[in-house]
Structure 1
């Protein structure tokens, strides 16, 4: 049996890699390919039987998947789209669960209402993996990508809370209570938020002090489970606690983790995410034949087809109707709301400028208020610069694929529940058909919408504008170069001349020049370099918190948006300098 597991694991990895390569070249959704390949593998003679514990998926697979996505999602993008994400991931999940349950119970009376709502909760959360993969390849606007990713992170928690309450009602043979569901959901959100924040805060502080990529990556492995298990023990939402932990870790890590640690974590979690996602979809296809056999004993094929059709059509209709409301509200008077908001901000800013701070405490409060005004102004500019149009809402409505959570949650329904096998099979078929329906047609729809592409020159200008802005912030924060000291001693005049004439223009404006320097001068130059790099990073984080720039220039890495002839060191703020001055640093090698 152990050899069979090793064989299955090895074959699964090979199939996953082949499917990913084929999907990138053809545009077919990789999850759909994996399900099909899993079905084909299960039909081969002599293949072993595979039984996956659903609790293993919920507690062992889902937390790292959610954490990997949450830690990479910019908090500012999530905040700006919070109303739409909340509508889709909370309100629409509850509505979908109840409506699907009522319809299934009405058309198929053998299915109890509570079990029908459990089915609705299972199929309500969307999975943005396939949709975002297609969107990135076809140039879907970044704001739509953020909405899809944010929705898929939060709706898992909403669906699992409703599912938990519905399963409890099935076991108690009692009526489904919306009031009880609302109470459970409120505690699930509050408890999960507290646990997730606490876990993130503690692990970030520990990782900050270790300064070891191996140990830090190891701690990042256990972080999602440190958030999931305590939250579940407190009867809160474990998956939401994982999401909160990932978001807080991502926000704090930008300032507290070294660039080396962040790069290592990004690559490692991308690999883990790929393996786990691929494994779940392969396992679904591999187990589908056994699910069909189990369901045959309690229902007919016609009833299964009818139930799948009813659920799938209901999901599509509810998705379209659910997005029609925010589309209408968002378009009505959007320009007037922006003008009124900008006018109020201008008035508030004028009152702040007329006030003279009496002490340092009041000065701090005024600076905080100015930052809030700048952030609000940037939000207004963002809404005008990147609005969600009718075409965008249509793409969001058609990106209703179901995936990992649906497959895992369906199998958590107790095995002794009547009609359990039927409900599990229906949920899995709905997930597969949604992948086929939306995954095969979404690329054509995105092409038909003809979203405007981002001009590379404009993107490069945004990056350079951002660099100039944070360069000015760093210069203002550190003061004149000639007045800086190291351990109380003024800088060597030759070092000041070299830094002022050659290094600072290279660092702040990308000018490649070189100079010779003695060892003591090189050490001074290195210390000043670290100061400016720290100041540049602080400026970058301030700009990110305000939000005047879009996410793409803020996340620009080495080689991105670099003008011809400019030094690679222009993006050095995303890198950590060597522990001692790099050879050729003052000679202008600028190897990056």
Structure 2
């Protein structure tokens, strides 16, 4: 059996690589290809029987998948889109679960209401992996990508809380309590937030003190499970705890981790995400013929097809209806909101400018107030620079693919439940049809929307502006180069001359050399460059918290600083 397992794992990795390459060249969603390849593989004679435990998916696969996405998502982007993400991932998930459950129960009375709501909870969360992969390739605006990613992170927790309540109701004569579900959901959010934050804070502090990439990577592996298990033991949402841990780790790691640790983390989690995500879709295709055989004993083919069509049609209609509300508010709501907020900010700024701090405490409060004003002004500029238009809402509505969570959650419905096999098959077919329907048509839809592309010259100007700004902030913090000292001694004039006019250009151009006339000069140059590099990184974090530049610009500048940091440590 061990040899069969190794063979299956090796074949799965090979198929995943082939599917990924083919997807990038053809534009077909990789999950759809993997499901098709899995189905084809299942018909090969003498292939072993494969049955994955649902708990293995939920507790072993889902936490690292969610963590891998959350740790890369900038908190500022999540904050700026929080209202829309919350609407889609909380309100619409609950509404979709209840509406789908009612429709299924009314049209197919043999399906109890609680089981119907369980089915609705299973199919309600969207999976942004395929949608964002397609969107980035064909020019989807970054803000829409952020909304899809943020929604897919949070809606998993919402759906699993509703599913847990619905499954519990299946065993008590089909009773379903909306009040109990609401209380469970509130505790799931609060408990998960606490668990995720504590785990992230502790692990980041430990990793900050370790100068070993192997140990750092190992702790990173364990972090999602450290968040998931305690939250589940507290009957909170384990998946939401993992998301919180990932977001907090990503935010704190920008300052506390070394450049090497950040780059290692990015590559490592991208690899883990690739293997796990592809493995789940491949396993679904492999198991699908067996699911069909199991469902035949209790439901006809016509009923399964009808239920799939009903559920998928309801999900599409609900998603369009749910996005119509924020679209209408944005179009017909108060159009001068930005002007009114900017006017209030100007008034507050005028009052702040008249403050005369008397001590360090008041000076700190003054700096905090000015930063808050700058951040609010940047938020208004962001809304004006990157609004979500009607075309954007259409794309968001059509990006309703279902994925890993649907496949895993469906199989957590207890064995022995009447019509359980039918519900599991319907959920899996809904996920597959949504991948085919949306995955094959989404690229054409995005192209037809003709979203404006970013101007390369403007992006380059933003990059240079941000670099100059953080360099000036570093100079203001540390003072000019010719005033620096190393161990109390002033810098060698040759070192000052070498670095004074070349440090920032060296970062921008990637020049990997410093003055090397004498060993003492080189050592001084490296010490001072590290000093300014740290100050520039602090300035970059302050600018990121304000958000006057795009996320892509911040990432590019951080990449420059990371590469320079690694060069100086070499």
* Superposed displacement of residue 508, structure 1: 7.6
Match in the other structure for 2:152: 152
CA 1:375 to 1:490, structure 2 compared with 1: closer, same or farther past 3 Å? same
What corresponds to 1:587 in structure 2?
none
Aligned length: 570
What residue in structure 2 maps to residue 340 of structure 1?
Answer: 340
CA contact (8 A) 1:470 1:539 kept: yes
Are the structure 2 counterparts of residues 55 and 211 from structure 1 closer, same or farther at C-alpha, using a change threshold of 3 Å?
Answer: same
CA-based RMSD of the aligned residues comes to: 1.7
Preserved contact between residue 260 and residue 562 of structure 2 (Cα < 8 Å): no
Cα distance in 2 for residues equivalent to 1:2 and 1:514: 55
CA contact (8 A) 1:50 1:287 kept: yes
Q: Which residue of the partner structure matches residue 576 of structure 1?
A: 565
Question: Which residue number corresponds to residue 229 of structure 2?
Answer: 229
CA distance in 2, matches of 1:329, 1:16: 43
1:297: which partner in 2?
A: 297
Instruction: Give me the TM-score of the superposition, normalised by structure 1.
Output: 0.94
CA contact (8 A) 2:112 2:174 kept: no
Q: Which moved more, 1:497-506 or 1:456-465?
A: 497-506
Q: 1:511 to 1:231 in 2, by over 3 A?
A: closer
Q: How does 1:464-483 map to 2 (within 5 A)?
A: 464-483=464-483
Measure the CA separation in 2 of the matches of 1:312 and 1:273.
27
Instruction: Check conservation: 1:502, 1:515, Cα contact below 8 A.
Output: no
C-alpha distance after superposition, 1:35-90 (max 9, x if no partner): 01101111111111101000000000000000000000011000000000000000
Partner of residue 495, structure 1: 495
Distance 2:34 2:562 in 1: 40
1:442 and 1:507 map into 2 onto residues whose CA distance is 39
Q: Does 1:406 align with 2:395?
A: no
Say if 1:378 and 1:496 are closer, same or farther in 2 by CA, change over 3 A. Answer: same
Task: Assess, with a 3 A threshold, how the Cα gap between structure 1 residues 485 and 322 changes in structure 2: closer, same or farther.
Answer: same
Aligned equivalent of 1:179? 179
Q: Deviation per CA, 1:317-355: give whole Å up to 9, x if none.
A: 000000000011122245400000100011101100001
What residue in structure 1 maps to residue 105 of structure 2? 105
Partner of residue 568, structure 1? none
CA offsets per residue over residues 403-440 of structure 1, 9 Å max, x none?
00000000000002111001000000000000011011
| Distance of 2:340 and 2:475 partners within structure 1 | 35
- 1:123-158 deviation per Cα after TM superposition (whole angstroms, max 9, x unaligned): 000000110110011010000000000000000000
CA contact (8 A) 1:122 1:410 kept: yes
Residue 93, structure 1, aligned to residue 82, structure 2: no
Which 4+ residue blocks in structure 1 deviate beyond 6 angstroms?
Answer: 508-514
Does the CA contact (< 8 Å) of 1:395 and 1:446 recur in 2?
yes
Change (3 A) 1:318 1:16: same
Between the aligned partners of 1:478 and 1:393, the Cα distance in structure 2 is 47
Q: Which residue of 2 aligns with 1:446?
A: 446
- Conservation of the 8 A alpha-carbon contact between 1:144 and 1:388: yes
Q: State the partner residue of 1:220.
A: 220
Counterpart of 2:421 in structure 1 is 421
Unmatched runs of 5 consecutive residues or more in structure 2? none
Matched-pair contact (CA < 8 Å) for 2:327–2:390 = yes
Question: What does residue 534 of structure 2 align with?
Answer: 534
Partner of 2:162: 162
For residues 291 and 366 of structure 2, the distance between their equivalents in structure 1, rounded to whole angstroms, comes to 63
TM-score by length of 2: 0.97
Q: Partner residue of 1:133?
A: 133
Deviation track 1:533-561 (CA, whole Å, cap 9, x = no partner) reads 00111111111110000001111169x9x
Deviation at 1:516, TM superposition (A): 5.0
Distance 2:263 2:184 in 1: 38
Mapping 1:261-410, distance limit 5 Å: 261-333=261-333, 335-410=335-410
CA contact (8 A) 2:530 2:568 kept: no
Residue 454 of structure 1, CA deviation: 1.2
C-alpha separation in 2, matches of 1:138 and 1:447: 7
CA contact (8 A) 2:134 2:443 kept: yes
Distance of 2:493 and 2:8 partners within structure 1: 68
* In 2, Cα distance between equivalents of 1:137 and 1:508: 27
Question: Alpha-carbon deviations, 1:482-528, whole Å to 9, x = none?
Answer: 33222223223333333324446645898999755321122111111
Local SS of the residue matching 2:532: helix
Using the TM superposition, name which of 331-340 and 143-152 deviates more.
331-340
Any conservation in 2 of the 1:536–1:573 contact (CA below 8 Å)? no
Q: Is the 8 A contact 1:200 1:249 kept in 2?
A: yes
Give SS of 1:210's match: coil
Partners of 2:210 and 2:141 lie apart in 1 by 38
Contact 2:128 2:152 in 1 (8 A): yes
Alpha-carbon separation, structure 2, partners of 1:44 and 1:271? 29
CA distance in 2, matches of 1:247, 1:283: 29
Q: How does 1:505-516 map to 2 (within 5 A)?
A: 506-507=506-507, 515-516=515-516
- Write the distance in 2 (CA, Å) between the matches of 1:77 and 1:334: 23
- Residues 71 and 575 of structure 1: CA distance in aligned 2, closer, same or farther (over 3 Å): farther
CA contact (8 A) 2:495 2:515 kept: no
Counterpart contact for 1:197–1:245, Cα < 8 Å: yes
For 2:174 and 2:254, the matched residues in 1 are separated by 49
